[in-house]
């Protein structure tokens, strides 16, 4: 099975916001980073993938199974790391483990204790005394202790200090070595993705803009700089969005070849970072 998560024409409407007709595939054996501005709909999508929120229309399959018939079998195979305390606040990790472990067929006590030690978490202290980073670590320790094939994380690096963030990225890389695991996670820290992501799914205003390999993103998107005299209604079509300044323009293209054909060497073409891409897509008029 190539796609471990598959959303087909998924729609979810809230007052003032909707996820529209979303089609998303998460490839097995790879790390997919899920990006988008605040309020783009990432958490809503993740909640639907986790069956914490029901779509109004469309289909969601995980491991080729649907939640209606296979909820337990699906959840068994997922490690979910959530930004926030999903556990009972008053409990300590020992109690939580006692509650959570029996729910998983493949719970591994030894692995759990290894992570608790590695993350330097107190096992007898109430979770309400944990810092945000400690709560994230606890959530991660549990997610990694039942041989999950798919790890889903909603902003796992938010609130972590830079050292643990780097350690976490290394750990995720290690987890990928056996080739059977898939990781899907949302983040605002796009530099983390340069380090570990194979695919980038980019969402804006409730719609998936693209889901491409990081290599294809680098091949397709670029920043273009040049003089204002080069711009007219036709040449501007080569761009997602153009910023004008008195000194010239800077624009994002999703078709480098078209830019080369149109402008030749009258413009400068530079690599676009994921932040550049998000920024320009947010900018307004889109020729997509």
Instruction: Return residues touching ligand ATP (CB under 6 A).
Output: 14, 17, 36, 38-44
Judged by beta carbon, residue 58 or residue 248, the one nearer ligand ATP is 58
Q: How far is the CB of 188 from ligand ATP (least distance, A)?
A: 6
* Count of CB atoms situated within 10 Å of the CB of 1: 8
CA-CA distance, 138 to 129, in Å (whole number)?
A: 12
Judged by beta carbon, residue 46 or residue 222, the one nearer ligand ATP is 46
CA-CA distance, 198 to 164, in Å (whole number)?
A: 21
Judged by beta carbon, residue 153 or residue 224, the one nearer ligand ATP is 153
Closest CA to 154 of 79, 241, 210: 79
Q: How far is the CB of 280 from ligand ATP (least distance, A)?
A: 18
* Count of CB atoms situated within 10 Å of the CB of 244: 11
Judged by beta carbon, residue 32 or residue 43, the one nearer ligand ATP is 43
Q: How far is the CB of 38 from ligand ATP (least distance, A)?
A: 3
Q: How far is the CB of 11 from ligand ATP (least distance, A)?
A: 13
Q: How far is the CB of 155 from ligand ATP (least distance, A)?
A: 7
Strand 78-81 and strand 150-154: the pairing is parallel
Residue 84 tokens read as 């926030």
Residue 204 tokens read as 């804006």
CA-CA distance, 78 to 153, in Å (whole number)?
A: 10
Q: How far is the CB of 16 from ligand ATP (least distance, A)?
A: 7
Place of tokens 């040049």: 226
Place of tokens 């340069």: 194
Judged by beta carbon, residue 201 or residue 223, the one nearer ligand ATP is 201
Judged by beta carbon, residue 39 or residue 64, the one nearer ligand ATP is 39
Residue 140 tokens read as 């991660």
């Amino acid at each position: 099975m190539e796609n471990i998560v598959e959303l087909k024409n998924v729609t979810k409407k809230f007052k003032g916001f909707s996820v529209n007709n979303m089609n998303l595939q998460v490839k097995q054996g790879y790390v997919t980073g899920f990006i988008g501005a605040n309020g783009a709909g990432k958490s809503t999508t993740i909640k639907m993938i986790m069956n914490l929120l029901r779509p109004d229309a469309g289909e969601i399959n995980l491991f080729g199974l649907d939640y209606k018939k296979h909820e337990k079998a699906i959840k068994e195979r997922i490690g979910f790391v959530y930004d926030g305390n999903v556990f009972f606040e008053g409990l300590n990790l020992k109690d939580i483990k006692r509650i959570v472990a029996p729910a998983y067929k493949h719970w591994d006590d030894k692995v759990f204790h290894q992570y608790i030690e590695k993350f330097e978490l107190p096992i007898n202290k109430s979770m309400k005394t944990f810092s945000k980073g400690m709560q994230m670590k606890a959530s991660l320790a549990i997610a990694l202790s039942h041989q999950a094939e798919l790890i889903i994380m909603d902003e796992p690096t938010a609130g972590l200090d830079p050292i643990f963030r780097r350690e976490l990225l290394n750990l995720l890389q290690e987890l990928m070595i056996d080739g059977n695991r898939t990781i899907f996670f949302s983040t605002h820290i796009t530099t983390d993705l340069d380090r570990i992501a194979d695919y980038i799914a980019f969402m804006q205003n409730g719609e998936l803009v693209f889901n491409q390999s990081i290599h294809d993103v680098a091949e397709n998107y670029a920043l273009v700089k040049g003089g204002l005299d080069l711009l007219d209604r036709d040449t501007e079509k080569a761009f997602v969005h153009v910023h004008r300044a008195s000194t010239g323009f800077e624009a994002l293209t999703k078709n480098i070849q078209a830019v080369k054909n149109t402008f030749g060497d009258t413009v400068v073409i530079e690599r676009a970072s994921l932040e550049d891409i998000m920024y320009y897509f947010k900018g307004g008029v889109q020729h997509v």
